[in-house]
Every structure is written in structure tokens, then in C-alpha cells.
Amino acid sequence: MENSFFVDSARLSPKALEIKHRLESDPSSRKNHMEYMEGMQRIDSDVCKNVMAHFDSYDPSAYTAADVKAALTRTGCGIEDFKALLSPAAEPFLEQMAERARLETSRHFGNTVYMFTPLYIANYCENYCVYCGFNCYNDINRLKLSPEQIENEMRVIAESGMEEILILTGESRSQSDVAYIGEACRLARKYFRLVGLEIYPVNVDEYAYLHGCGADYVTVFQETYDTVKYESLHLLGHKRVWPYRFDAQERALMGGMRGVAFSALLGLSDFRKDALATALHAYYLQRKYPYAEMSLSCPRLRPIINNEKINPRDVHERQLCQILCAYRIFLPYVGITVSSRESASFRNGIVKIAATKVSAGVSTGIGDHESKYTGKEAEGEHGDEQFEISDGRSLFTMYSDIEREGLQPVLNDYLYV
């Protein structure tokens, strides 16, 4: 079934609707997505060029079973092997890939599984990304938590035992500026050992500021490396600028962050090519910044409020598993995070093969942790979710489930130095 991304809200003014429809139907009404906007910093980097050379020339259908077999029998895994493992020809070899991936995971990470929870502190957004629940034309409850509310949410989460937090905002500089996010990081340092950020891309000095406030990891999803497709999905706002987003992880490292995370949103475009580019993005940056810690995620499209038809299309669990095994074999040393977008059974299985980090106790809404964690009636207003999650397990349940699989859950393995 094809995705139906465009949804009109009855609350939009005729003028707003007119602009929205023009953006959707007339590409010439949109800004050039390859052109930097004012204030966006350019850095000197050849990482993008290296990644995109492979992305552009990669034809997944060109690989054969013999290529896959050769890749699986070789010691180590080169870029060509990785391309074979991502191809449709590798699908019949999924079990062998899983065996090899499990070996690599165990060699590098033993039986440990790290746990974290995301905290959305604001859902205002200035972008029109047609598949996202936070998009500026979607009629949802908007909220930005005050520092007191943030601290209250953090206290509730910390009381559950969680030690790593990922702070998220919608992508709105005007509603959630860098100082506001910095304040959230300072508060987080009081309650958590490790603070990560998933916010709009910023400049090097701003990443340095946020690092000084206590954040050490930055996640930016490129959504898709297919620039033409990207242009057709991100119609309005600063997020439309594809190359500025691409260089975000490098700017974060230049700003002093310890680690960075990458992903495409699988299902937006050719997921095999996007998976290739995601891993190569990490691979080339690691060569340039060898001390940096790299991590990959693997989000698939999920239904959003006002649009239940959004789904990951041809990326089924088998394909997702194939991608994760290929990631692990190609980059045995990177972290792999599997979020609550995926089902409990998938996550229980994949932590035994390739994943090293899972979220627990998740809400993608704003200001609702207290009611969700304690059952206490929500007093104030709350902001709506970015997408529907699939695995709603609490930290406690997740912890026991991981232990039951014979794995060691780890809440912290990090020091801010």
C-alpha cells in the first residue's frame, strides 16, 4: 500500500491551506534544498562526497548469491561485501548473517545491552516534513515544557532507575532555542549519568555550548540520503536544507561531543541504498575522527496522529533484521540502537544478534511521564506524540526481559570527563 502523507486540517486558514497545497503540488514554490540558509555554518569536509559516490553508484540488484557467500566467508568486511549483504541476494542468507552478526556483537560487546529513555521537552516545529506527526501543518496539541516541568519529568524518570536520557525537541529554533535546550541539559546532569540530544542541527559553537551544558552524544537522522526524494518530503523550513543536516554529526564532533548517531528513516526511499549511506556516513566520519563513538539507529516509518496510513512499506522485519546484521558485520564496533517503534518480540530477538541499546519506558509525547509512570492523573496539559510506539514496556519489565534472554542489562557505562 502506498503511503498517503498529505492530510489537511480543518483548522488551517484558507491562506495557510493554499500555501500548503502549493508546496505539495508545485516544486517551484519550494526553496532550493541544497542551498544553505542564513546562519548555517559550512565546514570543510569530504565525507559527504565519499558517501554519496557510493550511494549514487550502488545498484542492490547487481549482487548475486556468490557475492553474498564470498562476503560471509571473508575475514573482515569491506564496502563491496557490505553492499552484497544489503542486497536482495542476501535475503536467503539471513540466518547465516545473523550467526556472523551475533559473533561480532559478542566479541565487541559481550552480552551487555544498554538502556535509555527519550524525553521530549517540546513539540513545536517549523518544518513541513510530510510524514512526521510534529509537522507544522499537523493539528496536534503543542507544548513546550518549562524548566520546572522538565525537572519534574526527569525526576520521575530517574526514580524509575534510568541513568541515560536522550533529550528531544521538535525542530523549532524560535520555540526551543539553544539556551533552552542547554538549560534542559544542565538539569539532566543532576538526574542522569549520560545525556544525549536529538534536536535540530546547529553550528559548531552551539554544539560546544551544549557539550559544556552536559550533553555528550548527538543524534541526527538524515531521513533519506536520496536528495531528490528528500526534497519531495521536506517541503518547508530549515530542515529542508539537506547538506547542512548531513554535516551535523561532524559539527557536533568538532564541538567536542564524544559520540554521534546516524540513521535514515527506513521506508522513505530505497531502504537498501539508505542503509548503505547511513553506515558509510559513520564509517567515513570514524576514519576522520577515530576517537569518536559511532552509533546507528534503524527507525522505520510509524503511523502518526491524523494519519494512520503511514507505514514502513516494503521494509518488513526480515529486511530490518538483514540491515542490522549487515551493519554489525560491516561495523562491528559501533553501537546499534533499536527503539520502541519496533515490537517487543523483535527487540527481544535482535538484542541477541546485533543491537546493543534499547529504549524503555518510552513516551514520544510531551509532559506525560508522571501520569504514564505513576498512574497519577495528569494535572496540566500535555503535548501530542511524534509517532505511535509499538513496544510500551517499562524499564523494570524491559530489564527483566533482557535478563531472561541471558543478557546483562546495563544502565550506565559512561563518565562525563
Partner 1 sequence: MKDDSLVIGGRSFGSRFILGSGKYSLKLIEAAVRDAGAEIITLAVRRANTKEKENILDYIPKNVTLLPNTSGARNADEAVRIARLARELGCGDFVKIEIMRDSKYLLPDNRETVKATEILAKEGFVVLPYMYPDLNEARALVSAGAAAVMPLASPIGSNKGLCTKEFIQILIDEIDLPVIVDAGIGRPSQACEAMEMGAAAIMANTALATAGDLPLMAAAFKRAIEAGRLAYLSGLGRVLTRGASASDPLTGFLCD
List of residues contacting partner 1 (CB under 8 A): 106-112, 161, 163, 193, 286, 290-294, 333, 406-408, 410-415, 417
Q: Is 280 helix (H, G, I), strand (E, B) or coil?
A: helix
Q: Tell me if 368 sits within 8 A of 376, measured CB to CB.
A: no
Type of residue numbered 352: K
Q: Is 165 helix (H, G, I), strand (E, B) or coil?
A: strand
Q: Is 11 helix (H, G, I), strand (E, B) or coil?
A: coil
User: From the CB of 289, what's the least distance to partner 1, in Å?
Assistant: 9
Residue 230 CA to residue 222 CA, distance in Å, equals 9
Which lies closer to partner 1 via its Cβ, residue 73 or residue 408? 408
Q: Which residues contact 149 (CB under 8 A, 6 or more apart)?
A: 367, 380
Q: Tell me if 211 sits within 8 A of 185, measured CB to CB.
A: no
Task: Enter the C-alpha cell of residue 79.
Answer: 564496502
User: From the CB of 153, what's the least distance to partner 1, in Å?
Assistant: 18
Residue 39 CA to residue 11 CA, distance in Å, equals 33
User: From the CB of 250, what's the least distance to partner 1, in Å?
Assistant: 15
Helix-helix angle 94-109:65-73, to 10 degrees:
20
User: From the CB of 347, what's the least distance to partner 1, in Å?
Assistant: 19
User: From the CB of 90, what's the least distance to partner 1, in Å?
Assistant: 24
User: From the CB of 84, what's the least distance to partner 1, in Å?
Assistant: 22
Residue 136 CA to residue 170 CA, distance in Å, equals 10
Which lies closer to partner 1 via its Cβ, residue 227 or residue 286? 286
User: From the CB of 159, what's the least distance to partner 1, in Å?
Assistant: 11
Quick one: which of 136, 209, 140 has its CA closest to 172? 136
User: From the CB of 149, what's the least distance to partner 1, in Å?
Assistant: 23
User: From the CB of 291, what's the least distance to partner 1, in Å?
Assistant: 4
DSSP string, 106-141: HHHHTTEEEEEEEEEEE-----EETT-TT-TTS---
Which lies closer to partner 1 via its Cβ, residue 375 or residue 406? 406
User: From the CB of 52, what's the least distance to partner 1, in Å?
Assistant: 23
Which lies closer to partner 1 via its Cβ, residue 216 or residue 231? 216
Provide the b/e sequence for 96-123 (b: ≥16 CB within 10 Å).
Answer: ebbebbeebbeeebeebbbbbbbbbbbb
Which lies closer to partner 1 via its Cβ, residue 180 or residue 414? 414
Quick one: which of 351, 324, 339, 352 has its CA closest to 386? 339
Phi, psi of 117 (to 5 degrees): -135, 145
Which lies closer to partner 1 via its Cβ, residue 108 or residue 186? 108
Which lies closer to partner 1 via its Cβ, residue 106 or residue 374? 106
User: From the CB of 404, what's the least distance to partner 1, in Å?
Assistant: 12
Length of the chain, in residues:
417
Which lies closer to partner 1 via its Cβ, residue 122 or residue 282? 282
Which lies closer to partner 1 via its Cβ, residue 89 or residue 162? 162
Which lies closer to partner 1 via its Cβ, residue 17 or residue 411? 411
Quick one: which of 61, 14, 109, 83 has its CA closest to 358? 109
Tell me how far apart the terminal alpha carbons of the chain are, to the nearest angstrom.
49
Which lies closer to partner 1 via its Cβ, residue 15 or residue 404? 404
